[in-house]
Structure formats: C-alpha cells, structure tokens
C-alpha cells in the first residue's frame, strides 16, 4: 500500500536514484575558470569524474585553470565561449560533441551582475544580463538535453540566486534574469518527470557568495555571506543527492513561505529593514 501511495506522489525517476555518483562522468561547467565554477571543477575531479569541460570567456584564466586542474585521472578541456552569443554556444556545443562526446552533467554557472538602479542601466546592460543569466543556460541545455534524453541519463544544474525569489535594490535586472532561470529550471524538472526520463534537474538559489562578482556587498549578522568553498561543496553534494534545490544559507529555505504569508509591506519591513537585505548593495563595487 505504501509503495502504491509513493509511486502516485513521486514519479519513478525520483525513487529510482536517490543518490548519484560523479565517478567516471563527463562534466561541463560554464564560467568554470574562476570562482565557484573552478572550485566545483576541482571538487568534481576529487570525486572521480573522467572528463571536465570548462567554458569561459577569459582565455588566459581558462588556460591557467586547465593547467592547474589537469590530472592523470581526469582530462580537462577548455573552450573559450561568450555565452551571451547564441551562435558561439551552438558551434562550441557541436565541437564538444565531436571532440569529447556526450556530457553527463551540465552546470550552468556563468553569470554577471551590473549592480545599478534600474534607471542607471544601459540597454546593453539589460541585454547582456538577460542573455548570460537567462537565455544562455536554455540554449546550452537545448544542445545537450536531447542526448541525455536519448540515453535516459543526465543532470542539469542551474545556478540561480535568492534574488530569483525576492527583489532587491540595484538588482532589478539581475533579479529578473534569475527569476527567469528559476522558472525555467522548475519547469524543465517537471517536464522530465512528466515524460518519465531519468534526468535530474537541480536549481541552486544562494544568497551572496564572497567572490569578486559581489565585491563590496555588506550583509547583516542574521544572514551570513557564503564562502565560495562552502557553496561549491554544497552544490556538488546536491548533485550527488539529486537534490531538487540547493539553497544557502538555511534562512533562504524560508523565503517563499515568509513571502507568501506576510503582506508585502510587512515583508519589506522584515526583510528590508530588520534583516537589512535592501541595503546590501549600497557599497557594491563588483569585479574590476
């Protein structure tokens, strides 16, 4: 009786593989030459992946990271890609399939933040933010997902943000792009379950991570800024657990519930004033 109830509530693809292994897998990480992208690649190698594919727009960092992470047990392949350009995504994906073969795990990690009030943005700021943070991850997944479906195996990870659930001053376009990323990831997960494919989809919604991308951000003692090493470790662990979501710190897990319960003005007071979230970007400088 219990098994019947569980099979009704949870698709068989969820029950079939509670845990996964990275051993002998091929992993592609966008924005993988620095920050948490690089750290996740390093951890994945330690977990036994066979091939690490790094996409990054910075050619010098890409070469440096490739040399650093190369090991006897793992082949590291780097590709210079500007993921804001769809034609580069398509051509590089074709090159990867030709030179390396199929990928098992895709981590859509590349992202940017402008960090201005909306009226201070240029049209190029808007276009580039949406292209990198939203459109790119869809185009990249579209190139590799059919192969996963054919093999009935794969994992797609989207690095979204807590800003994909809550708006914040000086993050309007960034928040919009991450809301899109989160909505797409959730829908893709449900689609894979609906068509009965053993393809896992994980959405990552961290608060600030102390990388150069968010240099200058200040937070209250109530919501600590996550260290890159901690973020990378939790994401890799989430992949192993086939987690639907990886959120950090713990308070982020309550955001949707609190936002759903509290009236908007009370939510603004609680999150914006008491927790100080709406002031976190006041001294933002970003990566130079």
Active site residues: 174
Using CA atoms, how far apart are residues 48 and 26, in angstroms rounded to an integer?
10
CB 105 within 8 A of CB 159: no
Name, in order, each residue with C-beta under 8 angstroms of 275's C-beta and a sequence gap of 6 or more. 220, 222, 223
What residues does 52 pair with on adjacent strands? Answer: 27, 76
Determine phi and psi for 139, rounding to 5 degrees: -65, -40
* Residue whose entry in the numeric block shows the structure tokens 């009370």: 266
Determine the angle formed by the axes of helices 59-69 and 35-46, rounding to 10 degrees: 20
Would you call 273 helix, strand, or coil by DSSP? helix
Would you call 236 helix, strand, or coil by DSSP? helix
Examine residue 249 and say whether the peptide bond preceding it is cis (omega within 30 degrees of 0): yes
Using CA atoms, how far apart are residues 131 and 137, in angstroms rounded to an integer?
9
């Amino acid at each position: 009786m219990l098994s019947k109830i569980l099979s009704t509530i949870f698709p068989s693809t969820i029950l079939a593989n509670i845990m996964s292994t990275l051993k002998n897998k091929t992993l592609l990480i966008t924005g993988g030459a620095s920050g948490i992208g690089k750290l996740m690649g390093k951890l994945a190698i330690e977990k036994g992946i066979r091939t690490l594919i790094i996409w990054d727009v910075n050619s010098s960092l890409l070469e440096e990271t490739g040399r650093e992470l190369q090991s006897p047990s793992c082949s590291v392949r780097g590709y210079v890609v500007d993921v804001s350009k769809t034609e580069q995504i398509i051509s590089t994906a074709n090159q990867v399939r030709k030179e390396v073969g199929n990928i098992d795990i895709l981590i859509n990690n590349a992202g940017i933040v402008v960090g201005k009030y909306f009226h201070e943005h240029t049209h190029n700021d808007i276009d580039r933010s949406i292209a990198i943070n939203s459109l790119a991850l869809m185009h990249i997944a579209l190139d590799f997902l059919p192969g996963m479906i054919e093999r009935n195996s794969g994992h797609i990870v989207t690095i979204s943000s807590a800003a994909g659930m809550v708006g914040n001053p000086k993050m309007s376009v960034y928040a919009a792009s991450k809301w899109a990323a989160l909505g797409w990831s959730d829908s893709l997960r449900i689609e894979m379950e609906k068509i009965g494919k053993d393809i896992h989809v994980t959405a990552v919604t961290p608060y600030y991570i102390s990388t150069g991308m968010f240099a200058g951000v200040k937070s209250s003692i109530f919501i600590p800024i996550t260290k890159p090493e901690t973020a990378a470790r939790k994401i890799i662990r989430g992949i192993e657990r086939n987690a639907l979501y990886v959120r950090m710190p713990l308070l982020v897990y309550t955001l949707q519930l609190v936002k759903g319960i509290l009236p908007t003005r009370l939510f603004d007071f609680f999150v914006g004033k008491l927790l100080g979230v709406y002031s976190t970007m006041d001294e933002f400088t970003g990566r130079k």
